[in-house]
Amino acid sequence: MADMVETTASGERSATAQSIRIGFLLAGLAALAVAPLFLYPVFLMKLLCFALFACAFNLLIGYTGLLSFGHAAFFGGAAYFTAHAVKEWHLTPELGILVGVLGAALLGLVIGFFAIRRQGIYFAMITLALAQMFYFFCLQAEFTKGEDGIQGVPRGHFLGLLDLSTSTNMYYFTLAVFLVGLLVIWRFVNSPFGMILKSIRENEQRAVSLGYSVQYYKLGAFVMSAALAGLAGGTKALVFQFATLTDVTWQMSGEVILMTLLGGIGTLIGPVFGAGLVVTLQHYLATSDFPVTIVTGVVFMACVLLFRRGLVGEFYASRLGRRLGFAYRR
Amino acid sequence: MSARGLSMSFGAFSAVRNVDLDVHHARVHALIGPNGAGKTTVFNLLTKFLTPTGGTITFMGTDITRLPPDRVARMGLVRSFQISAVFPHLTVLDNVRVALQRPNGLATQFWRPLSALDSLNERADRLIAAVGLSEARNAMAADLSYGRKRVLEIATTLALDPKVLLLDEPMAGMGGEDVAVVAGIIRNVARDRAVLMVEHNLKVVADICDHVTVLQRGEILAEGDYRTVSEDPRVRAAYMGTEEA
Ligand SMILES: Nc1ncnc2c1ncn2[C@@H]1O[C@H](COP(=O)(O)OP(=O)(O)OP(=O)(O)O)[C@@H](O)[C@H]1O
Ligand SMILES: [Mg+2]
């Protein structure tokens, strides 16, 4: 894992570095806690949902080396599942999100099953093709309400107690979901299973020769990534109180790739910054005369040319980053 | 383990033709031959990294001709690679622990912390000590010298406690001292398992191998103990001018 690895630096120095890293973490948490006092909560919630989505995507490309071009299916699919569950079945928000997560995981199992046998561009093409099939399913199916989408989704009461209809409550609920999601990713990456994933990425042939059925490990990572993308999508459906076709399009799959690349593949926190940048750009450009796609395109180009490792990746690899004990390996 | 009529063609080119091979317990068996003779291909066939176009392979009474490579490895037929295969950005300790994880049921837990793997440290350290890498325990595998990467690979292979060990040129590129150390390790591990190794260094072959098979252009040229094989005029002819005969 690239984040928070202890270095070989001498004791005192690395102790200082560690306290600085912990300081960063606490400052980040504090900023998230007070952010709604300064910024528009719906904007922040959107940002958190996309940040979690990008982190889920990064779990696959950054830690397994698989480039999926179909992650919108899990994100947008879960949004539909959650919206349907809370609106039609009158489930509480946490159960509604659970339905979204399980639905996305199941979808991930099916798409992953067909895709993981292939590598590189073929893997990307199969995930794209299957995600497009899911898009057409959503377009045709009854419960998704076609072009209109599922509207007027009630946010309900968390655990039947906390009213989520106020944006402050909803913000902290979303923040909690986001942090839980990150914690799950962190644990997954730093676990015995994560160790095997890492070894597969390092030398797949050798992992096979040690008796590992690499396909199952890759499928496991794929399903986990899909489930977490679903967590983000389901939460987003509650935030905006609707689920539409936009979230299952291939453009959405492309956008999450963009966010992850911008922030830094294979760093736990990079995609959060990448998502932040893209969502912010979209937010402010939406009201200006600039065409959003062209500007994000230019920013993307500039970043790829200037920061090959992504924003956070470059920071980790810089002298300062390394002195603080961050490590960037690709 | 035994193979009968093993054949492999890449398109029109037949790299291995009709090879019979028997590997026995507690014996070091050498597979030698000039460059391009098909030795690595035979290894790939036996460990199922390639599926033979002809012939059968049986391992402990089971036909493994159609099994996938990871299954074969789990049965106890484990290989090393000609081009050293370590996990470069893992430490020496982690390289060995990865090999130990599956046999010890610690490979699929995605909810447990990495410290769960500390229970493997004792065994890992013993393997690391056995190949003389103790002081490099926490070094990145990528930073090791070539010879040390090779012995690390042997340590990870041994971690699986294989029944048959296939080593593809384990001593290639090593200095004289290291060669002696690795030769000792191989002799030692062969006491209770079978070893099949590809080796170009004929002195090593003479010293530690009980049985030699000579391969040339995909076919078996000669077989027997080192003395018999080395006196065979066809083998001498094959090696003349091409290898360190
Ligand atoms: N995947 C492949 N496709 C086509 N030809 C191959 C393939 N693998 C090996 N060969 C050919 O098969 C022949 C045998 O190769 P192999 O690697 O088994 O030789 P080797 O005996 O291990 O040689 P060396 O001593 O150089 O390692 C060579 O002529 C090689 O070019
Ligand atoms: Mg070879």
Phi then psi dihedrals of residue A126, to 5 deg: -65, -45
Q: Along chain A (330 residues), what's the average pLDDT of each consecutive run of 10 residues?
A: 43 73 88 87 94 95 91 96 92 94 97 90 94 92 82 82 85 95 95 95 93 95 97 95 90 91 86 90 79 78 80 81 70
Please answer whether residues B28 and B190 qualify as being in contact, where contact means their C-beta atoms are separated by less than 8 angstroms: yes
Pairing between β-strand B28-32 and β-strand B211-216 as defined by DSSP bridges: parallel
CA atoms of B208 and B9, how far apart (whole Å): 32
* Residue B240 in domain: no
CA atoms of A300 and A285, how far apart (whole Å): 15
Every domain of chain A and the residues it spans: 40-249
**CB-based contact, B64 to chain A, within 8 Å:** no
CA atoms of A236 and A50, how far apart (whole Å): 8
Domain containing B188 equals 2-87+157-231
Low pLDDT (below 50) residues in chain B: 241-245
Q: Which atom of ligand 1 approaches the CA of B11 most closely?
A: 4
* Residue B138 in domain: no
CB contacts, 8 Å: A212 with chain B: 70, 102, 107
Of the ligands numbered here, which is closest to the C-alpha atom of B10? 1
Percent of chain A whose pLDDT exceeds 90: 52
* Residue B112 in domain: no
**Closest among A53, A43, A7, A21 to A263, alpha carbons compared:** A53
**CB-based contact, B137 to chain A, within 8 Å:** no
- CATH classification at residue B46: 3.40.50.300
Q: Both ends of chain A: CA-CA distance in Å?
A: 10
Q: Which residue of A has its CA nearest to B70?
A: A211
For residue range A222-263, list pLDDT tens digits in order: 999 999 999 999 999 999 999 899 899 998 999 999 899 888
CA atoms of A57 and A71, how far apart (whole Å): 7
The single-letter code of the amino acid at B136 is A
Q: State the total domains in chain B.
A: 1
Tokens at residue B155, please?
């340590």
Ligand 1 neighbours (beta carbon < 6 A): B 10, 15, 33, 35-41, 82
* Residue B97 in domain: no
Q: Enter the pTM of the model.
A: 0.88
Of the ligands numbered here, which is closest to the C-alpha atom of B35? 1
Angstroms from B48 CA to nearest CA on chain A: 10
* Residue B244 in domain: no
Residue A11, pLDDT score:
53
Pairing between β-strand B13-22 and β-strand B164-168 as defined by DSSP bridges: unpaired
* Residue B115 in domain: no
The single-letter code of the amino acid at A79 is A
* Residue B177 in domain: yes
CA atoms of A282 and A299, how far apart (whole Å): 12
CA atoms of A237 and A232, how far apart (whole Å): 9
**Displacement of CA A249 from its chain's centroid (Å):** 16
Ligand 2 being an ion, which residues bring their Cβ within 5 A of it?
A: B 39-40, 82
Query: What is the DSSP secondary-structure string of B36-54?
Result: TSSHHHHHHHHTTSS--SE
Please answer whether residues B74 and A214 qualify as being in contact, where contact means their C-beta atoms are separated by less than 8 angstroms: no
* Residue B179 in domain: yes
